[in-house]
């Protein structure tokens, strides 16, 4: 019942748009796998789903479901289902008939379709809600019904388009638990579109990072933050520390000194930027022999229970996020520990970035 999904060098440019929404995108999703397409708004994520769903057609390239091209196949015969950011429940039907819609369309008699719908309502923890009108449910409940409706259609591929981004953090956590539960139970192929790194890493097996319509990197979810392959990706994932310099024999040399990196084999040698996440830098005493560098506290900002600390070093400002209870004051001198396996080196040639971390003016969020 689950199928693989492939985009093969698919491009799509909207009339009047200056740049393609999606550009020569190739992506493989194995049957039963969950892939997250992660990117900022306006990066073409939703277009990817619309192309798979058949609501939009690529200008070039191919879309394949279960290794067969589906170009020319209308949405209703692609064996898919989709959940969007807004629940999009049919307002004139009861909750039960909403969920029974998919089975009914595939020819299941009304009574059986409704019985199936009851089961899926149970699955999303809304038993007995079937007789209510969608408008009488809360936003989180409506989104669960949308999920039940999509699952009830028994799709070979389930498309999720930022399905939880309109929900409260606590409702979102509930929905994440629910999806994990349903994945274990039903094992559909899932393509999830999101701008939330955490959601991507949490729900998917692998993450495809899409920026400006181009696939930047496709990595296992568990390794999402480990090895960004460009500054674009690193910045998009929220990494704040970049130290220009050059790599030699697996070490990075810069104004900060010589630092052991995650590439001891020297594969990244040459002009290169050292990138290390603020979560990975540990602060210690200035005279700690384990410290790779020393610096002077410039500023602190609360980050949840933790604190983001800005440290002035010989290589400019570096950022570290420290655990609760550590208090630093302006001017304190500290040592910085940069674990070698967290020190990523990105060759300068790949510096194709213009904006990103710079406080740029917001981009219109076209889809």
Q: Which residues bind its own copies (CB under 8 A)?
A: 40-41, 125-126, 137-141, 144, 168-171, 174, 177, 195-198, 201-202, 221-222, 224-226, 237-238, 277, 279-280, 282, 301-306, 323-325, 339, 341-342, 359-365
User: Of the candidates 32, 40, 42, 75, which one interacts with other proteins according to CB under 8 A?
Assistant: 75
* Sequence-ordered list of residues with C-beta below 8 angstroms from that of 102, at least 6 positions apart, any chain: 81, 149, 150, 152, 153, 154, 155
Looking at beta carbons only, is 166 or 253 nearer to other proteins?
A: 166
Which option in other proteins, its own copies, none does residue 289 bind, with CB closer than 5 to 8 A by kind? Answer: none
Looking at beta carbons only, is 49 or 201 nearer to other proteins?
A: 49
Q: Is 201 near other proteins (CB under 8 A)?
A: no
Q: Which stretch binds other proteins (CB under 8 A): 21-29, 53-61, 171-179, 242-250?
A: 53-61
**Cβ-contact 8, 32 below 8 angstroms:** no
**Tokens standing for 93?**
């039907």
User: Of the candidates 1, 19, 57, 90, which one interacts with other proteins according to CB under 8 A?
Assistant: 90
| Helical packing angle, 95-105 and 110-123, nearest 10° | 120
Q: Which stretch binds other proteins (CB under 8 A): 63-71, 114-122, 149-157, 356-364?
A: 149-157
Looking at beta carbons only, is 153 or 243 nearer to other proteins?
A: 153
Q: How near is the Cβ of 167 to other proteins at its closest, in Å?
A: 18
**Cβ-contact 225, 56 below 8 angstroms:** no
Which option in its own copies, other proteins, none does residue 169 bind, with CB closer than 5 to 8 A by kind? Answer: its own copies
**Tokens standing for 14?**
């909207």
Which option in its own copies, other proteins, none does residue 280 bind, with CB closer than 5 to 8 A by kind? Answer: its own copies
Classify strands 282-285 and 257-260 as parallel, antiparallel or unpaired: unpaired
**Cβ-contact 157, 5 below 8 angstroms:** yes
105, 212, 227, 240 from 360: Cα distances, Å: 48, 16, 25, 15
User: Of the candidates 4, 86, 115, 165, which one interacts with other proteins according to CB under 8 A?
Assistant: 86
Q: By C-alpha distance, which of 80, 56, 100 is closest to 4?
A: 80
**Tokens standing for 36?**
């997250």
Query: In angstroms, rounded to a whole number, what is the distance separating the alpha carbons of residues 208 and 214?
Result: 10
**Cβ-contact 187, 32 below 8 angstroms:** yes
Where does this chain bind other proteins (CB under 8 A)?
53-55, 74-78, 80-82, 84, 86, 88, 90-93, 101-102, 105-106, 133-135, 149-150, 153, 159
């Amino acid at each position: 019942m689950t199928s693989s999904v492939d985009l093969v060098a698919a491009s799509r440019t909207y009339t009047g748009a200056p740049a393609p929404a999606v550009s020569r995108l190739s992506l493989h999703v194995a049957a039963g796998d969950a892939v997250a397409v992660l990117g900022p708004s306006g990066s073409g994520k939703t277009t990817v789903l619309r192309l798979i769903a058949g609501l939009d057609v690529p200008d070039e390239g191919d879309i394949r479901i279960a290794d067969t091209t589906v170009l020319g196949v209308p949405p209703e015969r692609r064996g898919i289902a989709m959940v969007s950011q807004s629940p999009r429940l049919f307002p004139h039907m009861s909750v039960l008939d909403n969920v029974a819609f998919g089975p009914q369309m595939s020819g299941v008699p009304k009574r059986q379709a409704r019985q199936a719908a009851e089961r899926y309502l149970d699955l999303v923890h809304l038993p007995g809600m079937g007789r209510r009108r969608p408008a009488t449910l809360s936003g989180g409940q409506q989104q669960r019904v949308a999920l039940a409706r999509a699952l009830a259609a028994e799709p070979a591929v389930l498309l999720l388009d930022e399905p939880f981004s309109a929900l409260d953090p606590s409702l979102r956590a509930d929905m994440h638990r629910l999806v994990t539960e349903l994945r274990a139970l039903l094992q559909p192929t899932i393509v999830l579109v999101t701008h939330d790194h955490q959601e991507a890493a949490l729900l998917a097996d692998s993450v495809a990072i899409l920026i400006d319509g181009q696939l930047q990197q496709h990595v296992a979810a568990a390794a999402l933050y480990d090895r960004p392959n460009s500054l674009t990706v690193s910045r998009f994932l929220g990494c704040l520390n970049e130290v220009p310099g050059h790599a030699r024999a697996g070490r990075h040399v810069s104004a900060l000194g010589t630092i052991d990196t995650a590439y001891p084999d020297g594969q990244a040698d040459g002009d290169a930027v050292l990138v290390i996440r603020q979560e990975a830098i540990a602060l210690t005493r200035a005279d700690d022999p384990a410290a790779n560098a020393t610096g002077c506290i410039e500023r602190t900002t609360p980050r949840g229970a933790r604190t983001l600390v800005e440290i002035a070093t010989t290589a400019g400002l570096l950022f570290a996020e420290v655990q609760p209870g550590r208090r630093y004051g302006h001017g304190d001198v500290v040592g910085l520990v940069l674990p070698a396996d967290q020190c990523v080196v990105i060759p300068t040639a790949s510096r194709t970035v213009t904006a990103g971390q710079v406080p740029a003016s917001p981009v219109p969020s076209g889809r």
